[in-house]
Structure 1
């Protein structure tokens, strides 16, 4: 006699890559010591991955900060993350900006590229095509500043690799919903 099958747990079930989605969550929290550690602890304690994390105070008078987290998982896992975040004491609101197709995501990157001669010209031409600004230049290198969607920055970095990519610094995703309403 076969035992009845219990529903699969999102913690133990193998995930097929086709079922994994990437979501951007905006989390409004109290700006106080330890809040970020609690939010990150929720992710690490349950084995959820954080692909990008940004945090800044957004309402000084009310002592509120906004955490923007990019994470991935099955739809069930994303829903669990959202519900678990909502239960944390310093959290005021959690919004899945991916569900709302009316949101914008941008990231800032500084990209250092080494190059002389033809490589230098190629780097400048690519930078112009991507609307990257030169924020520092020496006779042997450039530092470009680039703002855009994360995949645009990925493409720029990949194209700079063969030219002489030295280093990349990225801010992480900043996201906001479109229209007159707040999150």
Structure 2
């Protein structure tokens, strides 16, 4: 194989599925059964009338593995459409995190200053801690979390990526 084929790429894949019991388990089973890694996974209903949900999966692999993942997803019965947003062109991708930071004095002031720079909102505050809500790209969240780690990070809860293509195209 050529070196290009061995290159590991990160892809965001959007899968439109029937909103019914067991669909997510089948999708996850496809990944685990073949040893594919899921970096991030989110799922939510997107059309109640048609009972459709969107599963957004962030995965990585060689171009050949990514093609296999998409082909196998497309063969699952409850799947309506598989879209590789990474290859289709510009898309919007966001994550959200709740970040709890404890500290007093200068560290407390610094945490608020950094949160302001990253446009994180304070959603809970006590005398000794803050819980910040931050939304952005995975890189934005990683940088914010790293900085808060130096100031007294206590707890962290993070969503997976949600994504959609830019422009007028829909489901």
TM norm structure 1: 0.90
* Per-residue deviation, residues 84-114 of structure 1 (Å, max 9, x unmatched): 0000000000000001221010011110001
Report the alpha carbon displacement of residue 115 of structure 1 after superposing the two structures with TM. 0.8
Give the 4+ runs in structure 1 shifted more than 6 A: none
The CA distance in 1 between the partners of 2:88 and 2:99, in whole Å, is 31
The CA distance in 2 between the partners of 1:71 and 1:156, in whole Å, is 23
Aligned to 1:74: 62
The residue correspondences of 1:6-155 to structure 2 (distance < 5 A) are 19-155=7-143
* Per-residue deviation, residues 51-107 of structure 1 (Å, max 9, x unmatched): 000000000011100000000000000000000000000000000000122101001
The CA distance in 1 between the partners of 2:119 and 2:111, in whole Å, is 12
Aligned to 1:174: 162
SS in 2 for 1:156: helix
> What's the C-alpha RMSD, in Å, of the aligned pairs?
1.5
* Per-residue deviation, residues 102-130 of structure 1 (Å, max 9, x unmatched): 10100111100011001101100000010
